[in-house]
Amino acid sequence: MGDERGCIVVEDDFPGYSPKYFNIPRHYESDVEYVLLPRGLVIDRTERMAKDIFYEMDFSKPLLAMCVLKGGYIFFNDLLHQLRQLSAQSNNSCQMGIDFIRLKSYQNDQSSGEVKVIGGDDLKKVEGKNLLIVEDIIDTGRTMEKLLEMLKPHKPNSIKVASMLIKRTERSSGYRPDHIGFEVPDKFVIGYGLDYNEYFRDMGHICVISESGKKKYSA
């Protein structure tokens, strides 16, 4: 692993960790190729990301944290918990609101190339606020670019994006969020809210799915 890109970089040749050393739900044991990021490492990295976000924050305007559902909900909850603690302990506390939006761009393990907004409240509420978008993973970057295009006309004071993961892929548009937890190889990852056709969200660690797991849970 390295850190030369402003985040923890997991190299392509990283072999991962054997699932037998971790608490993997029994119903998923044969579906995991290897553990990529143990939950403890993810939680610690989230705490550090919260500090970086907080100390860069503009306290003159309210913060609106927007979770991209469904995959981002666990990371969002953990990140917001840390931000609330930092705010409570600081003289520079700020008003903090939350919102949710749901996008869909995947079928099985492939991006469909079409971004669908299938949930979310009135985007006009972002006007004048410092907007923090919280995402689970940036793949090609096109989904997030589409969301940013949708939000900018509503005139938020600022927009920052925090993503737990960014995938290193030739399909990338070149977009990189403001805050990144880990840069990972071009593998399909599951767990910690990340799914494969709505399965594996209940697994604590971030893992690489096995080929047998793909076959079992294909739509």
**Model confidence over 23-39: pLDDT tens digits?**
999 999 999 999 999 99
> Is residue 60 very low, low, confident or very high in pLDDT (cuts 50, 70, 90)?
confident
List Cα–Cα distances, 133 to 98, 121, 128, 177, in angstroms: 10, 14, 15, 10
Mean pLDDT of 175-204: 95
List Cα–Cα distances, 163 to 77, 128, 177, in angstroms: 13, 23, 7
Between 2 and 70, the more confident residue is 70
Q: Is 139 a catalytic residue?
A: yes
Poorest-pLDDT segment among 97-106, 137-146, 201-210? 97-106
Residue 123: predicted pLDDT? 78
Does pLDDT of 2 surpass 90?
no
Residue 58: predicted pLDDT? 87
> Is residue 94 very low, low, confident or very high in pLDDT (cuts 50, 70, 90)?
confident
Q: Which domains are seen in the chain, by residue range?
A: 8-217 (3.40.50.2020)
Residue 63: predicted pLDDT? 93
Residue 110: predicted pLDDT? 55
Give the chain's mean pLDDT. Answer: 89
Residue 4: predicted pLDDT? 57
Say which of 139, 178, 195, 202 is annotated catalytic.
Answer: 139
Q: What angle do CA 94, 100, 103 make, to 5 degrees?
A: 140
> Is residue 70 very low, low, confident or very high in pLDDT (cuts 50, 70, 90)?
confident
Element (H, E) at 196: none
DSSP-H helix ranges across 30-120: 39-55, 73-89
- Residue 86 per-residue DSSP state: H
CB 196 within 8 A of CB 209: yes
User: DSSP string of 146-169?
Assistant: HHHHHHGGG--SEEEEEEEEEE--
